[in-house]
Each structure stands twice: as structure tokens, then as C-alpha cells.
Structure 1
């Protein structure tokens, strides 16, 4: 059963959908208009993959990396479904990135690829915006590119791993204001989910509610204030986000 986190009447609740209504964990039923969507888990350590689709690397004039290109994201970056991402006033090259997010379900270290899925809780969607005006190089994605407040919508749901037979064969799509601008498939990842879990756990402990953002395929377009951006992954759902009013930026 897919689950979410929402704010309702000043409190945070776990929730699910029942008959097109939001059912809170204590039994209260409410409409979507009465809630604020939150990231479906409170993220712990969040790993983000750069250039994990060869076609995306190619469209940016890079080769796919020989080892995973991983960087970390802070909790300040995450917002929920139907949230607003603020676009810096000086940004001219801001892109969405539709990504399958893998939520870890239990702690482990030195996890082999053959047992990797035993450590997965489920899957959700991330839109990991990149503001490439600030990019130094793809082998050092700096804080100004990937750790800005509100720049990583996450959700709406966690779909349990049992509900997705093959996470390595899911269609990904992005729409700007209703127009499809990106389409790909998780089968085209350079490093698949079992490899990433084995790689990361080879040198550090993975913990429950750690999240792995697995990268985005080709098909990037710029976004602007007022845009509605929908990132969609087969069997996982649709994550809606709005690009909000520009904010001042001194860096």
C-alpha cells in the first residue's frame, strides 16, 4: 500500500488514499484541498547520482562515468507534491531532472548486489532541479547547483517495493505546462539499483530512510517562473511542482 506524509490542521500525518479521499493514519478522512503534501519520508542521508544515463551525459557533452558520480543533498532542499520551487533571480539555465528515488528500508553495510533489494523499502519520484549557471564541472557538483532551498520536490507517495516487479524497467516522463519534454526508461541507467546499493554500502552504513536519487535521462528543457512541471514514473505516480517567484541571490 502506498503511503504519504501530509500536514493537516497544524500536524504531520501519515496518509493513504481511499475512495479518492486522503485517509489519515488515525482514521480522519479529508480532501486534497485541506492538506499540504510533504516529502513522503523525512530524508536521512540522500545520495544523488550525476550522469547516470549515458544519453543525458551525451546531451551535456560528457562521457558516462566509469564509477558512480555521487554527491549528497541536505534536508533543506526537499519539498512535497504540489510545492513551489523558487527560481533564483540570476538563473538563466535551470533544468528539471525526473529521477526514480530509492528509499532504503533497513540498515546494512557490505550489501551484495544479489541481496540489495532486501534493503529497499520502496520507490518515489524526485525532481532534482539543477541550476547550471553555477556549475563548475560535472565531477564536482557544487552546493549552489544542487543544495538550494526548495529545489528538490519529492513524492507524492512511497510505493512499496513489492508493488513494482522490475524497477529497472520503468518509463520516465516530464511535462512542462502539459507538453511532454522528456521521456526515458530506468533500464538505461549506467549503474543500476543493486550496483549502487552494493557500491555505497561498501564503505558506509546505509540506514532506514536514506534515499538514492538515481539520475535522469536526456531531454532537458529550461524552466521559468510560472511553469507547472510534472515528473512521472510508470507505476510510481506523478509529482507536480510549480516554479515560483524569483528570489534574490548573492551567489
Structure 2
């Protein structure tokens, strides 16, 4: 596990464009090694701006999008196409604008009446099916896993004090009592979230500053879940000045 590195940008717009450029560079680097990059997307306001900037960047044409594998860190358990689903927002911002291979895009299941537990189990099975011989913990090793952070310190759909924070034997779980609507969600667990070469937290706004400061400072992950995920090679906190305001001095 890696120690966090913080990179601070002037404001949310500067942050989003810097993250977009970083992501395009990372995808290009992985493809230059002859590998298919595995990318885990996140939802949220800043992420939408990042993904739109990726799609609009001239550098996007250098990526073979048909050879990018896409996963999700969490999802609101709603019917397919619901505008509140992360998948819907990510498709609108990015995936509908680049030539992805649908077979390499792995959204979390939508609500079709099967129940969130069955949906989470199905996603765990899909992750396990993508594992290579060197992968562990029930998931393929990701290249970049992107996460946002809530004012309470949650990330993905793992909230402070939630029983899902203690799950160690499953890659994906159902969440039924989310303090943010909708109450039912699907989320990757810590074992899965910790299986990425790089973990990127992308956070803006003064309302997140306290949570960011606690997470970067090494808080208990049961109290501040965003303190938990760490990249195998690198953990980046990509912030605007407002979100970085309470990072402890080193």
C-alpha cells in the first residue's frame, strides 16, 4: 500500500482539466506497454466535468478506446437509464462520445426486480471472470480507480460506520441504508478498491475539506472511509484549493 500524494489546483475547473489530461496520459502509457487499461469510474459533479474534458480533449484521439476496459466503483440501484445512475452520467459525459467496445464496458446491474444482493453477487462474478493468473481478492487488477469523497468522508457507497466497511470476503455488496438518496446501492468493498495500481481521489469544494484532511492524515477508515483505499503503486489526492484547506502540515 502507498502513502498519499496530494496535488492541489486553483479551482474546480482547473482541477478537472488537469485530471482529464492525467487520465489520458495514463491510458496512453498503459496502451504503449501493449496492455488494455482497466479504468474504474466514479460519479459526482466533478467527475462529470473531468469526463467531459476527456472526451473533448484533442489527446483523446490518441487513445484506442476499443481497448479500454471500464468498471464502476459504486452505483445507485435504479432502473437502467435513470439519470441518477453513475453509469448514465458517465455515458453522457464520456462513453457515448468515444468508440468504446461495449463488451469491455462493465456497468453495475440496474434494478430489474432481482434485488440488490443478487445484483451485487452478479457484479462480483463478472469481476472474478475478468481475473488473470496473477490477480487476487476476486477482482482484476485495475490501472486507475477514481473516487470522489463526501463531506462525511464516504467514498464509493461505503459510509461511516456502515457494516460494509468490514466486509473482507466479497468484492461487491448491496447497501440498503445509504444516508444519501437513493438508499439502495451497490458498492465495491475495500479488498476490491485496494486492487488498483493507482487510486485517484478527485475532490473539490470547501465542504469536503475536513473529510479530506482527516483521510489524508490517516484517520480510521471505519470513521472516514476515504482513508481506506490505497493504490498498489500510487495514491493520489487531486484537489482544488478549497478541498485542500485542512490537510495537516507535514
TM-score w.r.t. length of structure 2: 0.27
- 1 or 2 for the larger relative contact order (CA 8 Å, sep ≥6)? 1
Structure 1 or 2: more strand by fraction: 1
